[in-house]
Each structure stands twice: as C-alpha cells, then as structure tokens.
Amino acid sequence: MTHRRWFTPWLLVAPAAVWLFVFNIWPSINTVVLAFTNAKPLGGGRFTGLANFTRVLNDDQLADALLNSIVFMVVCLPLLTMLPLLIAVLVEKKLPGIMFFRTAFYTPVVASAVVVALIWGWMLNDRGLVNGFAQWLGVIAAPIPFLTDRWLLLFSAISLTVWKGLGYYMIIYLSALGNVRRELHEAAAVDGAGPVRRFWSVTVPGVRNTMLLVSVLVSVSALRVFSELYVLSNGTGGPGGRDMSVVMLIQMYSRGFTGHLGYASALSIVLLVVTIGPMLLLLRLNRKAA
Amino acid sequence: MAAHAKSARHSGFNTITTGEKVLRYTLLLVVLAITVSPFLWQLSTSLKSLDEDIYAQTPTFLPEHPTLDNYVKVAETIPVWSYAANSLVVAVIVVAGNAVGATIAGYALAKLRFRGAKLLMGLFLATLVLPGEVTIISQYVTVRGLGLADTLVGVALPGAIGMLNVLLMRTAFQAIPPEMDEAAIIDGATAWQRLRHIGLPNVRGMLSVITIFAFIGAWDDFLWPLIVLTNPENYTLTVGLQYLNGTFSANPRLIAAGTMISFLPIVIVFAALQRFFFRGVEEGAIKG
C-alpha cells in the first residue's frame, strides 16, 4: 500500500510557508511601500514621494541615534568578541561542578532585557548600589550620574549589553572549541609554549572563523539595541531625548494616533542600510561554511 | 591555563595540578559573582521590608527581616499576575506553533522531495539576514489588518513559526541516515508514519532546544508587545514592568519584586531543561 500522496510535502510545509509570506516577505515589501507614504496607525496613507527620505536627511534626532548606535557597536565589538572566548576556555574543562558554572553564566542571557535593565537601573541609580559603595569607599564624593548624563547612560547600556551577552557568545565559542585539535596543543606544549602563548597561537587561530561570526553577530545586534536604552532612560531616550537608538526612533514614530508609520518605515530602511555591511559579511561566512 | 584545558579534554587522564585547580575555581567564582550577583541583589531588595534602609551607605545583601509584602503590594498596584498570565498565553502559543510548525516543515524540507523546495529553502534562508526590527512596522500593519491589534494572539502570531527554527529542524532531520527512511518506504510507510516513527525520535535534542528558546524569546520579548498592545489590561509582563517602573520608581522594592516575578519562572524553566540545552549545544546544535 504505497500510496505516496503528492500533496503530503505541501501539507507539511504549508503552515511555515504561510508564515514566511505573511509575516516575513510581505512585510518586507510593505516596508518599502509604506516608506513612500504618510500612513498613520489607524490606516490611510497617501503616496508622498521622497518626502520621508528628505526628512530623514535633516533629522537631528536620527543623526544622534545613528551616532549612539555606532558608538554602541564600536565599544561592544572587541569586548564581546574577546571576553566570551576567555570564559569559554575557562568553562571548557570538565571540572567537578562545571555544569553549574556554565548554567549560572548563562542566566543573564535567559533573563528579559527589561528585567536586566531594571536591575541595572537600580544598581546605577544616584542612590543605588554602585554609587553607594563607591561613596562608602570614599572613591567619589558625589554620586556619578550614570542614568542622567548622555554618554554615561549610553555606556551604562553598553556595560549591561556586554554583561548580558557574555553567556550567549560563550556557548557559541564552547561548541567551536571542541573542534580545536588537541594534538596541536600538545605539540605546542612539548615545544615549550606556555598557556598564554598557546592561547594566542593555537586556540585563537583554531576558532578564528567563529570569532568572525561572533563579531558580525555582535555588530548587527548592537545596531538593533532597544530595550536596554529604553528602560534605562525610562522610555524617554535619556537627557533631551539624545540617547535614542535607531530602533527606539522607529518605535516612537509608530505609537498612537499621531504615529507616522510612513516615516517609521523610512527609518527602518535606514536601519537596514546600516546593518547591511555586517549582514553581507555574515552571508559570505555562511556560504564559506556550507 | 587555557591550553591545559585542551590537553586533558578528550581523554580520561587528568594532569591538572592543585595550583591550576585553585586558579581555575577562583576565576570561575569571579565570573560567577559578576554574572549572578546583580540578580541576588535584586532578589534581596525585593525581600526587604519598608523599615529597612535600602539606600544604606554600607549595602547589606541579606534582608534583616525578609518579607513577601512587596510581592503582595505589586499585585495591589498593577495586575502583575494577570500580566504574567498574558505572557504565559503568548509563550504557550509560540511554543506550540514552533514545536509543530517548524518540525513538520523542517521534515518536509529535509526528507521529502517536491517541486519548489529549493526556492522555498532560499526564501527561508533569506529571511535570516533581515533584522526583525526593520520589518516591525509593516508586521504591525499586517497584524492590524488581520484585526489582531491589541490582542495577545496578535503578539504571539508572527513568532509562532520561526524561520530559523524551521531551518534548525531541517538540519536535525538531515542528520538521520537516509537508509532508515528507505527501509521504511519499502515497508510501505507513509510520510507521516516516517515522520512519527523515524523522524521525531531522532530529533528530540533539537526539538527541545527550539522549544526552550521559543519559550524564552516569547516570555522576554519587549519591543513587539510594546508596539502591538495599547490597552494596559492586555500587557504582557515585560511591558507591564516598564509601566511599573515609570509609575513607582520611588519604591525600588516593588520594582524589584516585579522583576523577580518575571525572572524566576524563566530561570526555573531554564534550570530544569538546561541538560537538554547543553546537550544540544555539544551536539553542535547551535551554530550562530
């Protein structure tokens, strides 16, 4: 009874295909369409030509947001490419209790960015743990305005992001370290190379592709930062609204009855353009791996 | 130190010296303190009573008189439990959708031959490079067009079949040797039977990894529910917490209690399932 029904594969793949078209492909096309209109959240929207894009070019807020996103990326990139590798090397060895450490190091990844930002907001508050502790030690006389100064707020969000990302990239490195050949380490050890030397000349070259992949992932996700800045700045985008990220601007322009979906879409296209560099690199890497 | 780890890795022998062991555990404890202590500090704040000075110059980690009052008070000020229920509804829909939708599609793409499969694969792959935030506005327009704006179903729906999950399941099914399928085909098994009896038992690891991540992703998401939901009654926990922050920033104890209500369930879920997760990782399940 080999009735191989021709439609079975289609039946199996249909739900995912519907989702692909309805929630991915169509919105991608529609983003471009909307960017040329003055659409509002409650519908409507007429074709307005390049009006949104002219506005983009003269938007000071967007200039700030882009600068913030790029500073964010430039600072996160080296930290999140190197620190998780060191931690992965640390948890790689199967010592007693190592599973506990791996799981514990991963906790910040599982927590919601909102929860994490609320916790850090409490610690970095003028009267919070960090300032309190530093004042108690006598290192500082007055509290450091972590959450009310433009750049300090940005760097607070960066520290939070790095802290939250450690475990995630640690896992990626951990699975790559398994492929670094043990014999190379032994050979290097026989040649008298110390641990630091072997880290640089055996481990690092062994995971070089993964480091590249991680750095692309870090860049793209840094450009997409939202929740951390939003929550740390209490939804205001910081002093004078100058701490927005590009995503925050998109969210802002889509809100409520006065929202400008057309302009939000134009901003989305700006976001796409700035992430396209790292993304192209990712595609190339994928192709190489395949 | 790094290298010692390598040389002992694959074999049973243990060349680790006491000094190195001490150094390793010291470093592990340092990283542990960095990663975990903010959560403990928040937990401690949430348990401190009103008459305890939480702004004390010398911070105390242990509450003097631990109390659950703050948890009761959060619930009195915002409907935190119904927010949690909302988050749970969203997470359950997303988990169910991915467990079923990504599995069957992954199976069809890996093991069945049909016209257009290659094109479809290409499209699935293409979506991966597009950051979700870029299309979030027109996704909102789509969801509103479906009449689902300001509903929990609207929050859950777009993520109910993740394109990455489809591809991960496909990879998992591909790892099953084709001979097993061929034998079953000769025995007259239909595609559904092969999926159930050969496919599923062999992809349990990946299935648990994608369901864990679907749950975490849905429970933790903030931007999308923030855009979709307008009525405070429909808020999910993350959106409600942000609301709590704006309203009650004067009392960090309440915010702390609120964050713990969001944080503890997800940590418990993860701690309970971490075996499957790390096993999946060791099998090379997570590749970026």
Cβ separation A247–B238 shorter than 8 A: no
The pLDDT value given to residue A42: 75
The pLDDT value given to residue A182: 77
- Average pLDDT over every residue of B65-92: 93
pLDDT in tens, A75-85: 999 999 999 99
- Average pLDDT over every residue of B161-183: 92
Cβ separation B222–A254 shorter than 8 A: no
- Average pLDDT over every residue of A232-259: 83
Query: Which parts of chain A fold into alpha helices (H)?
Result: 8-19, 26-34, 51-57, 60-92, 98-110, 113-124, 129-137, 150-177, 182-190, 195-198, 204-206, 208-223, 227-232, 246-253, 261-289
The pLDDT value given to residue B8: 43
Own/partner long-range contacts of B146-150 (Cβ < 8 Å, ≥24 apart): B148/B228, B149/B228, B149/B230, B150/B228, B150/B229, B150/B230, B150/B231, B150/B234
Q: In chain A, which residue's Cα lies nearest the Cα of B54? A: A128
| A99 touching chain B per CB within 8 A | yes
Between B62 and A154, the more confident residue is A154
- pLDDT for B6 beyond 50: no
pLDDT in tens, A166-215: 999 999 998 888 877 778 888 888 888 888 888 898 899 889 888 988 99
- pLDDT for B9 beyond 50: no
Mutation site for A-interface testing, chosen from B46, B133, B173 by largest number of A Cβ within 10 Å: B133
Q: Confirm if A212 and A198 have CB atoms less than 8 A apart.
A: no
The pLDDT value given to residue B57: 65
- Residue B227 burial (10 A CB sphere; 0-12, 13-18, 19+): buried
Cβ separation A9–B117 shorter than 8 A: yes
Which residue of A174, A180, A255 is in closest CB contact with B6?
A180
- Average pLDDT over every residue of B30-36: 96
| Mean of the per-residue pLDDT values of chain B | 87
The pLDDT value given to residue B143: 94
The pLDDT value given to residue B63: 85
- Band of residue A2 on the pLDDT scale cut at 50, 70, 90: very low
pLDDT in tens, A120-141: 999 998 888 899 888 888 888 8
- pLDDT for A1 beyond 60: no
Distance from CA of A197 to the nearest CA of B (A): 9
Query: What is the value of ipTM here, to two decimals?
Result: 0.89
The pLDDT value given to residue A123: 92
Least confident of B3-7, B78-82, B178-182: B3-7
Q: Confirm if B174 and B107 have CB atoms less than 8 A apart.
A: no
Between B233 and A243, the more confident residue is B233
Which residue of A90, A91, A189 is in closest CB contact with B7?
A189
Give dist(CA B26, CA B33) in Å, integer: 11
pLDDT in tens, A54-107: 999 999 999 999 999 999 999 999 999 999 999 999 999 888 999 999 999 999
Distance from CA of B207 to the nearest CA of A (A): 16
pLDDT in tens, B224-270: 999 999 999 999 999 999 877 766 566 889 999 999 999 999 999 89
The pLDDT value given to residue A218: 93
pTM of the model: 0.89
Between A256 and B23, the more confident residue is B23
The pLDDT value given to residue A33: 94
Token pair 């479906």 is found at B146
Q: Confirm if B251 and A122 have CB atoms less than 8 A apart.
A: no
The widest CA-to-CA distance across chain A, in whole angstroms, is: 84
The pLDDT value given to residue B102: 97
The widest CA-to-CA distance across chain B, in whole angstroms, is: 76
- pLDDT for B7 beyond 50: no
Taking CB atoms and an 8 Å cutoff, what residues of chain B touch A281? none
- Band of residue A8 on the pLDDT scale cut at 50, 70, 90: confident
C-alpha distances out from residue A40 to A23, A27, A76, A257, B252, Å: 20, 16, 35, 7, 37
Cβ separation B160–A19 shorter than 8 A: yes
Give dist(CA A7, CA A10) in Å, integer: 5
- Band of residue A154 on the pLDDT scale cut at 50, 70, 90: very high
